[in-house]
Amino acid sequence: MSNSVSERDSGTVSPAAEPPAGGLAAAARAVLIKDLRCELRTGSALLTIFLFAIVTLTVVSWGIGGRILEPVVQASLLWTVIYFASSVGLARTFVREEETGTILVLHLTAEPLAVLAGKMLFNLLLMLALTVLITPLFLALLSVSVGAPGVFLLLLAFGVIGLAAISTLVAVIIARAHLKGPLFGVLAFPILLPVLLIAVRGTEQALGGAPLAEVSGYLTGLAGFAGAAITVSFLLFPPIWEG
Amino acid sequence: MSDLLWATLTIVLIWGGIFAYLLGLDRRLRRLERAVTGTAEEADA
Amino acid sequence: MRDKLLHTVLPVVTGIWLAGAIVAAFMAVPPISGLGELGRIAWFHIPSAWVSVLAFAVATVNSIIYLARRGIEADDRAVAAAGLGLLFALIATISGAFWARRAWGVFWNWDPREASIVILLLLYGAYFALRAAIDDERRRGVLAAAYNIAAFITVPYLVFVVPRVMESLHPDPVVNADGSGGMAGDMMGVLILTTIGFTLLFLWIFSIAVRYIRLRREVLHGGAL
């Protein structure tokens, strides 16, 4: 955490003092880098959710055999795998802090919004990494033909951003309540259902080769949701964090 | 009396029952509220 | 004055209004074409769904107030509204299933509106699951309020987007689900009557629920009223 302290403009080390505007981005980056470093050392988060996604994918494609599924079913399965992976892996960022006691350090040395920004970015990177890894496997195992690749990728990106944003917010709520895993799914799933519905329908169109114009409605919906989720998270985080 | 009339009367009666129940809750709440305020005033006195 | 309004005027008006609305629903309009008498359940199913969303909004507003001011009364109101929202969402789901059985032959087929009401049910359930898991009053209030507000993001999607997104797969658009494809002016009138009646009912039960929650809190914690 010494990086974040030395990057502050003020000469003295004052906990949670008002940092200058540039300090927020720097502090967020510091939180992110800390988490990334932990992750790179152990690789546990990405490994866990990637393995979980592989298992899910295997279970799904095993029964299918060599059959080619309809695009809507393929899309549905892809997002199921991604969602399950997120429900397993994204709560950890805050829960681990509570468990190891470093939550107090975070409270003292970083401004709330910086913590949120750092954590959310970490979750987003994690989910994007997972998606990049699991999607090719998915395409191969289920013999999926992607009609409109660009649109397909856009839908994946926007959907995953919304997923990561809401999951981060729910993770904070769970962590501050000292609760455990199962409640994370209970809380996150209903909020994410509309995202999943839109993502699946849109992805179905993309697999079928629909042009950007036809899918723009879905993209707007997903982008709107992601924007709202991020905004609301930033508004709600200070009261949740300070408790 | 037609079937429709019977059905209507039944539903209205059911609503009447719910209404009476809610009214009862209201009355009981009011009594309890007065009792609690009364106790608080006694304690202040 | 406000007391008189709440304790006398509201109950009386609600009682008479709903009684009249029930009579109107059964006797003032013919059944929706092709659906028989059971189709009349629509006049009560739709207002139930409306109230469940209204309750959600009331709860969310109070959650915002609670986070801003931290007065426990706002949390009481949020809980009361959420509880009623859950109740009316259940009523809407069950009545909708019976309507679907009559109209389409099956109790459930993941019609867009059905999907939306299920999501609403899950959100309410999650809210109460969260509250049940936290003992500290203040922390419970803050976290539940935060979840409520976050969950409200879905409402525009449930009301507007989901029906449009899922419509493309279903031959029966939402319009027919409401029966408004064959809805004459009279039927719309009945619908408005029952909707206002249900809203009044919500307001009345809401006021009772808030008083009950408050009383329970006062008695259990021995605070001043």
Convert the pLDDT of each residue in C156-169 to its tens digit.
Answer: 998 888 877 776 54
Instruction: Answer yes or no: is pLDDT of B18 > 80.
Output: yes
B22 closest CA partner among C125, C218, C214, C18: C18
Domain that includes residue A72, residue range: 2-242
Q: Which of C122, C147, C165 sits opposite A189 (nearest CB)?
A: C122
State residue B35's pLDDT score.
87
Residue A35 CA to residue A94 CA, distance in Å, equals 11
Q: How many CA atoms are closer than 13 Å to the CA of A228, on its beta-carbon side?
A: 19
Domain that includes residue C197, residue range: 2-221
State residue A6's pLDDT score.
40
* Chain C closest-CA separation from residue A6 CA (Å): 33
State residue B19's pLDDT score.
95
Q: Higher pLDDT residue, C186 or C208?
A: C208
Q: Chain C residue closest to A217 (CA)?
A: C165
In a domain, B38, yes or no: no
The residue type of C32 is I
Report pLDDT digits (tens) over A190-204: 999 999 999 999 999
Q: Chain C residue closest to B15 (CA)?
A: C19
Q: Of A193, A203, A231, which to mutate for an interface test with C (greatest number of C Cβ within 10 Å)?
A: A193
Question: What does residue C30 show for φ and ψ, rounded to 5 degrees?
Answer: -75, 165
* CA Rg value for chain C: 19
State residue A55's pLDDT score.
92
Interface contact B40-C224, CB threshold 8 A: yes
In a domain, B42, yes or no: no
- Tokens 């040395």 correspond to what residue? A109
E strand or H helix at A237, and its extent? helix A212-242
**Residues with pLDDT less than 70, chain A:** 1-22, 95, 98-99
In a domain, B17, yes or no: yes
Inform me whether the C-beta atom of residue B35 falls under 8 Å from chain C C-beta atoms: no
ipTM surpasses 0.90: no
* Chain B closest-CA separation from residue C174 CA (Å): 28
Chain C residues with beta carbon closer than 8 angstroms to that of B4: 26-27, 37
- Tokens 């455990």 correspond to what residue? A180
In a domain, B23, yes or no: yes
State residue C222's pLDDT score.
66
In a domain, B45, yes or no: no
Domain that includes residue B21, residue range: 1-29
Question: What does residue A9 show for φ and ψ, rounded to 5 degrees?
Answer: -70, -35
Residue C158 CA to residue B23 CA, distance in Å, equals 35
State residue C176's pLDDT score.
45
Chain B residues with beta carbon closer than 8 angstroms to that of C11: 19, 22-23, 26
| C residues 14..33 contacting B (CB < 8 A) | 14-15, 18-19, 22-23, 26-27
Interface contact C219-B15, CB threshold 8 A: no
Other beta carbons within 10 Å of A104: 10
Domain harbouring C103, CATH code: 1.20.120
Average pLDDT, chain C: 86
Report how many domains make up chain C: 1
Average pLDDT, chain B: 86
Report pLDDT digits (tens) over B2-17: 788 888 999 999 999 9
Over pLDDT 70: what percentage of chain C? 89
- Tokens 């993001």 correspond to what residue? C153
Q: Higher pLDDT residue, A50 or C109?
A: A50
Residues for chain A: how many in total? 243
Q: How confident is the model at residue C170 (pLDDT cuts 50, 70, 90)?
A: very low
Residue A239 CA to residue B4 CA, distance in Å, equals 56
State residue C172's pLDDT score.
46
State residue C185's pLDDT score.
77
- As a whole number of Å, the end-to-end CA separation of chain B is 63
Averaged over C6-20, what is the pLDDT?
89
Other beta carbons within 10 Å of B29: 18
Residue A221 CA to residue A110 CA, distance in Å, equals 33
DSSP string, C108-129: ----HHHHHHHHHHHHHHHHHH
Cβ atoms of C194 and C69 within 8 Å: the answer is no
Q: How confident is the model at residue C208 (pLDDT cuts 50, 70, 90)?
A: very high
Chains B and C touch (3+ CB pairs under 8 A): yes
Q: How far is CA A96 from CA A44, A163, A172, A184, in A?
A: 12, 20, 11, 14
Instruction: Answer yes or no: is pLDDT of C150 > 80.
Output: yes
Report how many domains make up chain A: 1
Inform me whether the C-beta atom of residue C139 falls under 8 Å from chain A C-beta atoms: yes
Report how many domains make up chain B: 1
Burial code (b: 16+ CB inside 10 Å, e: under 16) for C171-187 equals eeebeebbbbeebeeeb
State residue B12's pLDDT score.
93
Instruction: Answer yes or no: is pLDDT of C83 > 90.
Output: yes
